[in-house]
Structure 1
Amino acid sequence: MSNTAANIQRKINSASDLKGVVRTMKAVAASSISQYENSVSALADYYRTVELGLSASLRGSRSNMPLLAPAFHQPAADSQVIGAIVFGSDQGLVGQFNEDLADFAINILRKLGEKPRVWAIGERVQARIADSGVAIEKGFSVPTSVNAIADLVRQIQIESDTQGTSAINAVVYVFHNRPVSASLYQPVSQRLLPLDHQWYHHLIQVQWPTKMPPEFLCSSSTTIAALIREYVFISLYRACAESLASENASRLAAMQRAEKNIDELLENLTRDFDRVRQSSIDEELSDVLAGYELLNTNQK
């Protein structure tokens, strides 16, 4: 296609339309980051409440430790089941978001020396993990809002209880990206289950904030089981919210780079358009002058 003024103008119009789309995606990503970060901050108060409840319950049950034994067992190596929950993204335009996370999770899982049962949230990270040769046992869709995170976490917990992933012989790891700045993130991992003695001793050292100890209206084992379930819920919810905040931060950074590239492209196209237009004007002027000179010559 010849590099005419009309063709260059069409390219300029297309680039301008694309820049409008990029600006819209930037605004959506920026607003999404704040709501996910706010949800993580609000979750801290709820986690503190659950932590205090577990601390009081565990201290009250110290004389009845057999009730807690299933939660604190270390599984035997020959019966160990490795479970992994990986939070990625469904959509693209996020740079190396899914690639970095998938490589990080795969390297850790391979060091464990077991065939893991991987549950992945997000089509993009599922594809990346599958390409590495690790089978995906179950996939989930990424929540599209803060309100949808709780539904996803409940679904994961229900599937876990149904398929026995949270059994005594299971070791469950959670992998996700955690934001570290406005546009940066880092892959992190957490061993979610089983709950070990280090976790237990940390909790019983948490001090109750008042001088009046709490009272329990039901058995300590029932209270502990309910609070542990809430602890798992909070851990998964926070991992999902941090992953979504990181995803939108990565998308915002990608859109900023795209906007910069579009601005440079528009600048080059505008320069080419001005040059082609000036060249066309010069040619027209030359034709006018040539015709004028020819007319004068004929008249003489």
Structure 2
Amino acid sequence: MAGLKEIRTRIASVKTTRQVTSAMKMVSAAKLKKAQDAILQIRPYAEKLHEILISLSASLENVEDSVYTQNRAPEKVLVILVTSNRGLCGGFNANISKKAIELINTKYEQQLRTGNLEFLCVGKQGERYLKHRGYKVVANENSLFDELTFDNVAKVAEGTMKAFEAKDYDRIELVYNQFKNAAVQVQTAEQFLPVEMEEQDDDATNFDFIYEPSKEYIIKELIPRSLKIQFYKALLDSNAAEHGARMTAMHQATDNATSLIGDLTLQYNKARQAAITGEILEIVGGAEALKG
């Protein structure tokens, strides 16, 4: 059995750890509220924007003329992996990184084998994960989470859109954690470019709107804006999911530390009782020896 001093040291160490995890939990809980509000506010806007885009494209014959909707054979592929800059958030980073690897192994195995698959990382953890396993990371945008604003994100989105327009890539995939609630994140992989135009349901009600300016002009302006909003929403989703995952992980760590302190305290009391009993037996034995 460990000595009393060693057990006391361990109890003090675990208590310090519990203070750290408890503080991190509270910080993440505060940040989660702000991040959750941001993603819940932008989702309806992004969905309505996409709905308008589909409605307009369904009434146009030459929507495929847009460079962002051109379907090309995916010879060169870019995967944008969104993770966090810091750890201590459970399986948040590992799970989404595995999702990205699963995507390329099932969908882009040929491009990976020929060296035509590259990664753009948003988040240090994902970049470290990929480089450690030998995947090709061409760039990172880890600073986006330092100041997560639409203007900053739009610049990165524009860069990827220009790369697609210049035919540097034929397909761009976006892999990120979608926020569901504080305890649940949904690993999501969606095609960023080219834009997939969904067909409207024939039974859907068609309204005869008057557009000013023309439908063609509106859709030309709408597609780039929709792409930027989609990219921004993905980062807001990941940001909220990260704080939720960290809050949950730190809550569990705090509970585990409390349980461990209880076990160590019981062990300490048993060791102390054994030591006291031993001392009493020594005193009684000495007294008996003096009588003899």
What's the TM-score bracket when you normalise by the shorter of the two chains?
A: 0.7 to 0.9
Indicate conservation of the 8 Å contact 2:67/2:165, yes or no: no
The residue number in structure 1 matching 2:13 is 14
Equivalent-residue separation in structure 1 for 2:183 and 2:274 (angstroms): 44
Equivalent-residue separation in structure 1 for 2:263 and 2:143 (angstroms): 39
Over 3 Å counting, the alpha-carbon distance change for 1:154 and 1:72 in structure 2 is: closer
State the AA in 2 paired with 1:234.
I
> Once the two structures are superposed, what CA deviation does each residue of 1:106-157 show, in whole Å capped at 9, x if it has no partner?
2322332222231011121112222333200111216547x61435422312
Give 3-state SS (helix, strand or coil) of 2:164's partner. coil
Over 3 Å counting, the alpha-carbon distance change for 1:117 and 1:203 in structure 2 is: farther
Name stretches of at least 5 consecutive residues in structure 2 with no aligned partner: none
Matches within 5 A, 1:1-300: 3-48=2-47, 50-51=49-50, 54=53, 58=57, 62=60, 65=62, 68-76=65-73, 80-110=75-105, 111-112=107-108, 113-114=110-111, 115-141=116-142, 143-144=144-145, 148-161=148-161, 164-167=163-166, 170-196=170-196, 198-199=197-198, 201-202=199-200, 213=209, 215-216=211-212, 221-293=216-288, 297=291
State the AA in 1 paired with 2:20.
V
Deviation at 1:73, TM superposition (A): 2.0
* Identity between Structure 1 and Structure 2 (%): 19
Deviation at 1:174, TM superposition (A): 0.5
Name stretches of at least 5 consecutive residues in structure 1 with no aligned partner: none
Equivalent-residue separation in structure 2 for 1:224 and 1:121 (angstroms): 29
Over 3 Å counting, the alpha-carbon distance change for 1:142 and 1:30 in structure 2 is: farther
Indicate conservation of the 8 Å contact 1:87/1:176, yes or no: yes
Deviation at 1:213, TM superposition (A): 4.0
Aligned residues: 285
Over 3 Å counting, the alpha-carbon distance change for 1:142 and 1:249 in structure 2 is: farther
Over 3 Å counting, the alpha-carbon distance change for 1:250 and 1:134 in structure 2 is: same
Please give the TM-score of this superposition, normalised by the length of structure 2: 0.81
Larger Rg: 1
